[in-house]
Copies of this chain bind each other. A is one copy, B any other.
Amino acid sequence: MSALIIDKVKKKEDIILAALKVFAQKGLSNATIKEIADMAGIGKGTIYEYFKDKNEIIHRSFFYFQKLFEVDMETILLSDENGASKLKNLTGSIMGIIKNENNDYLDLMFDFWAEGIKGHEKGLMLNEMNKFYKSYRKLFEDVLREGIIDGSIRKDIDPFETSSIIIGTMDGVMVQWILDKKDIDLQKIEKNLINLILKGVGVSLLDKEDSK
């Protein structure tokens, strides 16, 4: 009995994984139920034993997709490093997810963003996305505040806006990478990115003196 439930759950996951692959190849609208069923190795009708309709598959796929980006932050946040170090580790972790992602799925980011602000159950997905971003921002915000207190992060920054910017930076380079994997080298980007976040690109007066 319990086994049956597990099987049911397992099969739903199988279908979602198949759906994610097809969605990533064709886009949410252009993917057909037939294609998803074929990819999952089951019959077209069977899909409907596990999901109400195509929309539900999209939403479940979205939730599943989102989980792939959840980092286990505990080890980072509970370490006794200073804020700047934690920020560095956090950033590295997220870049690692993007980089290592078994990236049949990553392309879907765009589709879900697009679907989130349009689509039938717009509200549901948009809400979930915003929750996702909010928690991310909170994470970075906390680390930034910690750094301000421990003196490793500049006092004159706004932790809230800045957290938004740092996260954006990673999304943004991901976009360019997805669009042009040949031209963009995520490995190199990562180093420069952390460098930029911590030190900026500008030269201060002190830097100048430093360089004397």
- Interface residues of chain A, those whose CB is within 8 Å of chain B, are 24-30, 84, 87, 107, 110-111, 113-119, 126, 129-130, 133-134, 144, 147, 151-158, 161-162, 164-176, 178-180, 183-185, 188-189, 191-193, 195-204, 206-211
Cβ–Cβ contact A196 & B84, under 8 A: no
| Copy total for this chain | 4
Structural contact, A117 and B84, CB atoms closer than 8 A: no
7 closest Cβ pairs, A-B complex: A168-B172, A200-B200, A29-B29, A198-B202, A172-B172, A110-B114, A171-B172
Which one of B84, B165, B166, B184 contacts A164 once the chains associate, using CB atoms below 8 Å?
Answer: B184
Once bound together, how far apart are the Cα atoms of A34 and B199, in whole Å? 53
A27–B130 CB distance below 8 A? no
Q: Is the interface of A mostly helix, strand, loop or mixed?
A: helix
List of B residues within 8 angstroms of A158 by Cβ: 188, 192
Also in contact, A154 and B206, with CB within 8 A (given A162-B196, A171-B168, A193-B165): no
Inter-chain contacts of A118 with B (CB < 8 A): 24-27, 30, 107
Beyond the given A168-B175, A196-B196, please list 8 additional residue pairs across the A-B interface where CB-CB is below 8 A. Answer: A24-B118, A26-B118, A151-B208, A161-B188, A164-B176, A169-B169, A196-B200, A200-B200
| Residues of chain B lying within 8 A (CB to CB) of residue A201 | 84, 87, 144, 147, 153-154, 157, 162, 166, 197-198, 200
Query: Which chain B residue lies CB-closest to A193?
Result: B165
Chain B residues within an 8 Å CB radius of A196: 157, 162, 165-166, 196-197, 200
With both beta carbons as reference points, the residue of chain B lying nearest to A170 in the complex is identified as B172
Q: Across the two chains, which residue of chain B brings its CB closest to A134?
A: B183
Bound CA span A29–B119, Å: 10
A19 vs B27: C-alpha distance in the bound complex, in angstroms?
A: 20
A113 to B113, CA, bound (A): 10
